[in-house]
Homo-oligomer: A and B are copies of this chain.
Amino acid sequence: MILEKKKAFNSFAAEKGLRSTRQRDIILDIFLSTHQHISVEELYLKIKSSNPGIGHATVYRTLKLFAESGLAREIHLHDGQTRYEHAMEGEHHDHLVCTGCDTIIEFEDETIEKLQREIASRHGFKINNHKMEIYGLCSDCRK
Q: Which residues of A contact B (CB under 8 A)?
A: 76, 78, 96, 98-99, 105, 107, 109, 111-112, 115-116, 119-120, 123-139, 142
Query: Given the complex of chains A and B, what is the CA–CA distance between A23 and B133 in angstroms?
Result: 35
Whether B138 contacts A134 by the Cβ 8 Å rule is: no
Instruction: Say how many copies of this protein the assembly contains.
Output: 2
Whether A125 contacts B96 by the Cβ 8 Å rule is: yes
Whether B135 contacts A132 by the Cβ 8 Å rule is: no
Closest Cβ neighbor of A116 among chain B residues: B134
Of the A-B pairs whose beta carbons lie under 8 Å apart in the complex, a sample of 10, sorted by A's number, is A76-B76, A76-B78, A107-B123, A109-B115, A109-B119, A112-B112, A112-B116, A126-B137, A128-B135, A131-B135
Whether B120 contacts A129 by the Cβ 8 Å rule is: no
